[in-house]
């Protein structure tokens, strides 16, 4: 398996997904600004999004893929097909039960995770209505993740990576053409999510048919391999839920803050984080999990170590300049992308404040995506859960501490305190994951050499100087035309990127990544 080729495939389609997602967010900001109703939609969408992360790319996938690879390697095609059918039937049953229960308790969910809407009946009722529409998305997208796990295990990375684009296209269509169909235009977004789930599932069927693994629901919870998936899934369910519960807690607290757009400010900041995180962090994680699972099954420790070192080196090679660049260019980027229609310069300023803080945690978020497969590939699901729960506890504590400190000093942007808490807990989680892998001798050598880090730091300093210098002689960003904003931003990014990559070439920083890749082809 050529890791670079697979990563490029995943990254390419993830890039298309992020670009379409950016267009979606621009249209969303233009149509709804940072309004309370948009905040109600975010609350309604984040609840099924939590369960998507748990049942889809989170808990289920991390438990399913290693077992699937083990069955594929040690059993024949008939047994593999039975295993797929059994898992499909059990997963579908669980999802249907969860969906029915959640639909019955929708108002209670909104009362908990949209606590700030309690005194605003319009926002509360809108959130409840939208949540009822978006909840079935859990069912569709979880089955999509099931399909993606099968395809990825057979080296088919393109379709699973491209599938999220459909969500963005569906929401774009809803914003452009569906708003006028409702007395409250925001409802179009909820139906856009539901339609996307159906489309994302349907597009998987031909690929599974070509592999001869289109599943049929067979409910056999007593199947030994199904039990193994469930055994692995229970702790990963706790671990995956920790991060997502943090997001919901952040959202709930944001609804209580004085600034009515706090939920939207954090959402747009988080979307900017997701761009580099999804493009490289999740892409690298997706590619190395099957590779690490095979290396562990074959007892090839050298290949295992080399894969981890290559993944972390490539991840930091991209994550660090992305973090510095978005930190220094936070306000210009937000103004350029979102200030139009209902989204004001003031809203962009508040969003930029939280974005700058979140960028301090980008390397940790990306590193976590690389470190976690080292646990799941060995079917060690308990260790990351314990660490994730600790990180969740500290995130909640940091939330109140950071917001309290900012409130004491009369800072208006209290939502920045929530961003600070997320960054702090992410770095703690990264430290604990790495220390555990070193203590267990899974990682026997540092994943990043000192020379490589020094080369990156030197290149980042030069890149940062170029950005600051170019910003110093440009006019105030909100005072120039939209065309000029785009041109100036592209010029700065292009120059800064050129300086960074040229510096790494001069410092021979590419050699370490290239040498590792040659051993992973």
Q: pLDDT digit string (tens) for 41-95?
A: 988 888 787 766 665 555 677 778 778 888 887 777 888 898 899 989 988 998 8
Sketch the domain layout of the chain as residue ranges.
3-448
Q: Which residues contact 473 (CB under 8 A, 6 or more apart)?
A: none
Assess whether pLDDT exceeds 50 at residue 173.
yes
Q: What is the pLDDT of residue 275?
A: 79
Q: What is the pLDDT of residue 1?
A: 47
**Assigned token pair, 132:** 């009822």
How far are the Cα atoms of 50, 52, 224, 448 from residue 232, in angstroms, in the given order?
19, 18, 12, 30
Lowest mean pLDDT among 41-45, 457-461, 494-498: 41-45
**267 and 42 in contact (C-beta within 8 Å)?**
yes
Helix residue ranges, H only, 409-481: 415-439, 450-472
Q: What is the pLDDT of residue 239?
A: 60
Q: Output 449 or 247, whichever has higher pLDDT.
A: 449
- The residue to which tokens 């053409």 are assigned: 177
Q: Output 452 or 5, whichever has higher pLDDT.
A: 452
How far are the Cα atoms of 84, 156, 181, 215, 227 from residue 81, in angstroms, in the given order?
5, 17, 44, 8, 16
Q: pLDDT digit string (tens) for 210-229?
A: 988 899 988 988 888 888 88
Q: State the pTM of this model.
A: 0.78
Q: Output 339 or 119, whichever has higher pLDDT.
A: 339
Assess whether pLDDT exceeds 90 at residue 379.
no
Q: What is the pLDDT of residue 352?
A: 96
């Amino acid at each position: 398996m050529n890791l670079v080729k697979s990563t490029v495939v995943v990254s390419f389609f993830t890039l298309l997904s992020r670009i379409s997602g950016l267009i979606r967010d621009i249209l969303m900001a233009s149509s709804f600004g940072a309004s309370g109703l948009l905040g109600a939609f975010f609350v309604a969408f984040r609840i099924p999004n939590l369960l998507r992360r748990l049942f889809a790319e989170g808990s289920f996938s991390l438990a399913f893929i290693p077992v699937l690879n083990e069955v594929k390697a040690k059993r024949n095609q008939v047994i593999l097909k039975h295993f797929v059918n059994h898992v499909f039937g059990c997963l579908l049953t669980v999802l249907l039960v969860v969906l029915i229960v959640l639909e019955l308790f929708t108002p209670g969910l909104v009362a908990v995770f949209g606590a700030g809407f309690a005194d605003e009946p319009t926002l509360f009722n809108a959130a409840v209505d939208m949540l009822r529409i978006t909840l079935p998305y859990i069912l569709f997208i979880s089955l999509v993740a099931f399909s993606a796990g099968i395809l990825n295990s057979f080296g088919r990375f393109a379709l699973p990576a491209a599938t999220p684009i459909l969500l963005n296209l569906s929401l774009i269509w809803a914003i452009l053409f569906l708003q006028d169909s409702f007395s409250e235009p925001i409802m179009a977004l909820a139906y856009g999510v539901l339609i996307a789930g159906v489309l994302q599932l349907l597009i998987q069927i031909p690929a599974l048919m070509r592999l001869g693994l289109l599943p049929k629901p067979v409910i056999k919870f007593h199947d030994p391999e199904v039990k193994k998936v469930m055994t692995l899934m229970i702790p990963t369910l706790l671990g995956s839920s920790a991060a997502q519960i943090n997001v919901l807690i952040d959202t709930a607290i944001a609804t209580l803050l004085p600034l009515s757009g706090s939920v939207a400010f954090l959402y747009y900041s988080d979307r900017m984080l997701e761009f580099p995180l999804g493009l490289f962090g999740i892409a690298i994680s997706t590619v190395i999990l099957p590779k690490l699972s095979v290396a562990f099954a074959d007892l090839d420790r050298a290949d295992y170590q080399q894969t981890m070192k290559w993944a972390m080196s490539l991840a930091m090679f991209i994550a660090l300049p992305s973090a510095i660049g978005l930190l220094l260019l936070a306000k210009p980027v937000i103004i350029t992308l979102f200030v139009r229609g209902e989204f004001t310069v003031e809203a962009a300023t508040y969003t930029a404040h939280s974005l700058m803080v979140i960028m301090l945690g980008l390397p940790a978020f990306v590193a976590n995506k690389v470190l976690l497969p080292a646990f799941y590939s060995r079917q060690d699901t308990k260790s990351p859960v314990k660490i994730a729960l600790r990180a969740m506890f500290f995130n909640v504590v940091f939330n109140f501490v950071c917001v309290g400190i900012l409130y004491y000093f009369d800072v208006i942007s209290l939502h920045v305190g929530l961003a600070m808490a997320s960054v702090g807990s992410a770095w703690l989680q990264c430290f604990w994951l790495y220390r555990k892998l070193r203590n267990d001798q899974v990682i026997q050598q540092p994943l990043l050499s000192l020379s490589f880090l020094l080369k990156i730091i030197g290149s980042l300093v030069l890149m940062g100087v170029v950005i600051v210098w170019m910003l110093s002689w440009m006019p105030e960003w909100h005072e120039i035309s939209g065309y000029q904003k785009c041109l100036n931003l592209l010029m700065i990014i292009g120059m800064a990127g050129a300086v960074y990559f040229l510096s790494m070439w001069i410092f021979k920083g590419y050699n370490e990544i290239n040498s590792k890749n040659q051993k992973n082809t």
